[in-house]
Amino acid sequence: MIALTLAEIAAAVGGELRVAGEDTTETVVDGIVDTDSRTMTPGSVFVAKPGAETDGHRFVGAAVAAGAAVAIVEHTVDVPVSQVVVPDAVVALGALAREVVARVRAEGRLRIVGITGSNGKTTTKNFLARILEDEGETVAPVKSFNNEVGAPVTMLRVTKSTRFLVSEFGAAAPGSIAHLAGLVEPDLAVVLMVGMAHAGGFGGIEATAKAKSELVSAARVPGTAVLNIDDPRVAAMKDLALSRGLDVIGFGQSDAADVRAVDIEVSASGTSCVIEVGGERLPLRLRVLGAHHITNALAAIASALVLGIAPADAVARLETVEIAERWRMQPLGSDRVRIINDAYNASPDSMAAALRTLAQITGPDERTVAVLGAMSELGESAGEEHDRIGLLAVRLNIQRIVVVGPEARRLYLAAVGEGSWDSEAVHLPDQDAAYEYLRTELRDGDRVLVKSSNSVGLRHLGDRLGELFS
């Protein structure tokens, strides 16, 4: 965080400052800001966030022992450290992020990119950060820090030398993106796609589209909306963007795209295509598996173009990226038995894309094995969407379908009903049972996809299988 006095921190969050020890209102703090006491270093700001399972106020002492210089709290604690008392610690965290980013932006160098979409946010964020880091200091979220805590914590990492802030915005509920994006008013609003992910919490896909459009509404004017022209619900946001005075740049495979991909090919070693932009044709070979990641690459290239980076430079930097992120189409195992661990998250769209990738990268003498768990947060659509994935797996001729957990049973039943018989599809109660089954079932030449929502935890099964067959 940039240097601020205790008085400035208190003013930014609207809190009551209570100094301790040798501190004064003018004591300067410039360390990291976090809700995790384990990350504290000398001069840090600890935000005591109450939680469902524990309360951050219990860890103020540990934070101070690790070096925290001040704690933002909802009530004073009996620990010798200066404290800023606020009604809501999470709201205060966001307010502090707003103040810090505004001060850095006032210096005139900082450009801010906001990214949202039902799928692809983290991969696009990583792609764009890789392109931008060669231009100057770039701050981007660790993992998927895209909620009311993770997004402000990332924003607070900016310094006066930061040139680019890449923020990833998830939507826990209607208004979430409007709030988070409103903290920084991005110069670029990047919308990737509108899918069924989290649709259960929004009341349907149209409500999800409205939530994603909040990013376009929150963008800074003058600014740019970077939109997936292949997704009709995203493309429809062009009217909103133009009505606000934003420029619009479209990406996709459509002829209408300003940054377009053609000649897409998927193999076990990566994904290739030709990028068409501004009259240029640029070959791109990603090491990342899956045709769906071409969309994420297009979004990153289009965003970089708006920020003044030549497409050829953007393409060259993307080709150095080895994996999108841990547990996202992550190759594990060996050439003998290849494990693709894509179990950080799952929606109907990402599940379908991963299954298609598995089918595309498996040779004629190799066997496809899909280890699938439940997709969460689908609401009333959950049964139908699990049915659809079961049918798709069979129609893609996935040769072994291993369904894990009771929540995914409908996926298994749909696969069996579609014709996956004679042990081609099995249903197992949990990860341990699946591991024991796969330990003896997998053989040389197998290509294995592990896919589920994060809450199911199959990513750990993927790691175990990767280690077993390494």
Q: Are 197 and 350 in contact, with CB atoms under 8 Å apart?
A: yes
Residue type, 287: R
Task: Kindly list the distances between the CA atom of residue 240 and the CA atoms of 171, 222, 227, in Å, as whole numbers in the listed order.
Answer: 19, 14, 12
Alpha-carbon span 328 to 450, nearest angstrom = 10
H helix or E strand, kind and range, residue 250? strand 247-252
Q: Are 301 and 317 in contact, with CB atoms under 8 Å apart?
A: no
Tell whether residue 123 is among the known ligand binding residues.
yes
- Maximum C-alpha span of the chain: 75
Helix, strand or coil for residue 15? coil
Alpha-carbon span 470 to 336, nearest angstrom = 9
Tell whether residue 238 is among the known ligand binding residues.
no
Tell whether residue 455 is among the known ligand binding residues.
no
Closest CA to 306 of 251, 348, 383, 243: 251
Tell whether residue 82 is among the known ligand binding residues.
no
Alpha-carbon span 287 to 61, nearest angstrom = 45
Task: Kindly list the distances between the CA atom of residue 187 and the CA atoms of 127, 166, 209, 215, in Å, as whole numbers in the listed order.
Answer: 18, 10, 21, 11
Q: Is 148 exposed, middle or buried (0-12, 13-18, 19+ CB in 10 A)?
A: middle
- Give the DSSP letter string of 109-156: --EEEEEE-SS-HHHHHHHHHHHHHTTS-EE--STT--STTHHHHHHT
Burial letters 446-457, b for 16+ CB under 10 A, else e: bbbbbbbbeebb
Helix, strand or coil for residue 427? strand
- Give the DSSP letter string of 263-327: EEEEETTEEEEEEEETTEEEEEEESS--THHHHHHHHHHHHHHHTT--HHHHHHHHTT---SBTT
Alpha-carbon span 280 to 360, nearest angstrom = 28
Within 326-378, strands assigned E span 330-333, 337-341, 367-372
Tell whether residue 118 is among the known ligand binding residues.
yes
Alpha-carbon span 94 to 180, nearest angstrom = 8
List residues forming the annotated binding site: 117-123
List residues forming the annotated binding site for ATP: 117-123
